Chain A
Amino acid sequence: MTRRHSYPLFNLEKAKVPDDLCPVATEVSPMLPGDWRSVRPVVDRDKCVKCAVCWLYCPVQCVEEHAAWFDFNLKTCKGCGICATECPHGAITMIGEAQ
């Protein structure tokens, strides 16, 4: 049996997408999790041994590797604090953004 398709296919030129039917966005939102973070992680470089537990646990993968320690990309870090809870060396402290 020949496959039948729904015609006409979506026509890019003729398409008039109403702005009040299906909600769509055609522009990329510049907003990142860091824009609404309330607390942020701070690393004590003396305590960090690069065990990478924070790297494993971070839900947004914002952990960045440096020569002798791990740090965080604060544009994408949402401040959840999982890294501070899981760090076996107590090297991460969450501090308020207002501080």
Chain B
Amino acid sequence: MSIDTLEKPAGAEARRKPKAILCEGNEAAALAVALARPDMVAVYPITPQSSLVEHVAKLIADGKMDADIVDAEGEHSVLSVLQGGALAGARTYTATCGPGLAFMFEPYFRTSGMRLPIVMSIVTRDGITPQCVWGGHQDAMTVREVGWVQIYCETVQEVLDTTIMAFKIAEHHDVMLPVNICLDGNYLSYGASRVELPDQADVDAFMGPKDVNWHVALDPLRPMAVDPLTGGAGGKGPSTFVRYRKSQCRGMQNALRVVEEIHDEWEQRFGRRFAPLVEEYRMDDADFAIMTLGSMTGAAKDAVDEARDAGKRVGLIKIKTFSPFPIEALQNALGRVRALGVVDRSVGFRWNCGPMYQETLGVLYRLGRHLPSMSFIGGLAGADITTGHFHRVIDETEALLTGPMPSEPVWLNEND
């Protein structure tokens, strides 16, 4: 049985040392999937996800990953095939984005309701139309209310580590929900950087015995109808439906704790720490804060450092786990700040602001004090959000300390 994912350095002592390589985010995700040892993957290519599933296919073809691969005829079939696999007890994986995610929507909704711990990367892409093939969070944001756990990554290393953790989060008995690992199209998918690859034996020890086949199974000895008609206005229908829905919501809330626990475990075993829900950067004595999501955070941290050097008391809050929304962690992070600027890489059409800003408004209400805030929208359709843009974010958020709250969002790339 040869399931070595990667070449290992010779010699027993060197064996457990992590191997550093240079790779793009899509390849890092594929390598992480191989390390997590799924039984089955189903794939359909779509920009900017294509190279991810090409890497997965190659790992399988080269014998470095022991999984069945289904080359489905479209994303709807991809996820439907994986549902069957998951019901039969397989660990399953796929990746998609944008229009592929849209085409997948019917089984996508069903997956969370059936409590199938499928892991799917969303290599985020902006919403069409206008026709575009570039990055943006619009696709993942559009499906944020469908009951999947959604976790956004900042760096290629975080993509690799979080993709492995995702399987453990999804399969945790208190969660049992599908998980999306969101990596920014273009900036993370094609951005090459140095990453450390954990050793397969260490990942195996981290993952523990595989236990995904306990709550339901396609078993001829035990016939059952999966997902039968449930609900309606009479008999036990309504209360049965409520029982399933409440359990789904409970699973989402449990995920907040489980995501934290598994990130702690990862740190203990591999020595790398990622803030599981909300990262606070230079927040200790901050007067005001900016909030970010995904790969834009790197440039934002640089801008915060420069602004600090210039004497501005600004901090940064990064959301990593977006669904379930980390209400309590965000509430704690907001501490004593007196103004907040939220930067979104997508649009909330109904509120004329960014979707993360809209979610944050609910948390601000819970603070019990008035906290002036505003919405920034940038990086749509592959646009770069530079440190220059973030200096504008910092300046305009600082102005909230003394001035009025604008009613319109600021479109960062409007005059680029």
Contacts and interface: CB of A to CB of B under 8 A. Distances in A.
Prevailing SS type, chain B contact patch: loop
Contacts of A5: 39
A24 B225 contact: yes
A30 interface: no
Contacts of A26: 222-225
Interface stretch (B112-120, B288-296, B359-367, B396-404): B112-120
A21 to B, nearest CB: 4
Given A12-B221, A26-B224, A6 B2 contact: no
Nearest to B230: A23
B215 interface: yes
Contacts of A20: 243-244, 246-247
Interface in B194-215: 209-215
Given A24-B224, A24-B225, A17 B216 contact: yes
Nearest to B240: A23
Contacts of B210: 6-7
A2 B1 CA distance: 5
Nearest to B113: A23
A23 B227 contact: yes
Interface in A1-46: 1-10, 12, 15-26, 29
A73 to B, nearest CB: 22
Chain A interface size band reads: 20 to 34
Contacts of B247: 18, 20-21
Interface in B107-125: 113-116
Interface string B87-119: 101110000000000000000000001111000
A96 B139 CA distance: 48
B227 A22 contact: yes
Contacts of A22: 87, 114-116, 215-216, 226-227
A2 B176 CA distance: 29
27 contacts: A1-B2, A1-B66, A2-B1, A3-B66, A6-B90, A6-B91, A8-B213, A9-B213, A10-B219, A15-B214, A17-B216, A18-B215, A18-B247, A20-B246, A20-B247, A21-B176, A21-B215, A21-B216, A22-B216, A23-B114, A23-B230, A24-B224, A24-B226, A24-B227, A25-B225, A26-B223, A29-B229
